[in-house]
Amino acid sequence: MENLRSKCISLLEERGVTLDDIADCARFLQAEYHIDLKKEELLESVMSVLDKREVQFAILTGVELDRSAERGQMIDKDLEAILRRDEGLYGVDEVNAYGICNLYGSIALTNFGFIDKRKYGIIDYLNKHGKSGVTCNTFLDDIVGAIAASAASRFAHKWGK
């Protein structure tokens, strides 16, 4: 699985997302509880989330769909159009993200809902950039939100022990 994690990290970078970006989103989610938390302190949690097989498969699958739509290679052209315009009522992108959050419990799910609506940092960038017509980030912004939400939840549970 070590190999799959490395592959996922490379894939995220290729799509414009660094581990640092994700740790910064996780820090944002924890900021109300720990005002001077540094994002470095959340990196370990991000790495641990990326270690899980189900997280890795959610990343690979979501990014496959984004890239396939972006390149115009989808078999179903209606679906391709829905993904390219990041249609709000599509919902499968969030379902895929819940597959990540659920592993980290109810706090991860509420964290995700918050950052998905509030759009912070790289998530805001991905979302805006994904609507440019060139790139498709329909799945990616939710995946990043879910990893950050999960890392923040993991941190909260550890800190709360």
List b or e across 5-36, with b for residues whose CB sees 16 or more CB atoms inside 10 angstroms: beebbebbeebebebebbbbbbbbbbeeeeee
Instruction: Return the DSSP state at 104.
Output: G
Q: Which stretch binds its own copies (CB under 8 A): 17-25, 35-43, 82-90, 122-130?
A: 82-90
Residues numbered 96-155 forming contacts with its own copies, rule: CB under 8 A: 96, 98-99, 102-107, 109-114, 116-118
Q: Does 37 bind its own copies (CB under 8 A)?
A: no
Q: Which two tokens stand for residue 95?
A: 């379902």
By the 8 A CB rule, do 18 and 138 touch? no
Q: Does 46 bind its own copies (CB under 8 A)?
A: no
Interacting residues toward its own copies by CB under 8 A: 1, 7, 53-54, 57-58, 60-61, 63-65, 67-68, 71, 73-76, 78-79, 82, 88-92, 94-96, 98-99, 102-107, 109-114, 116-118, 156-157, 160-161
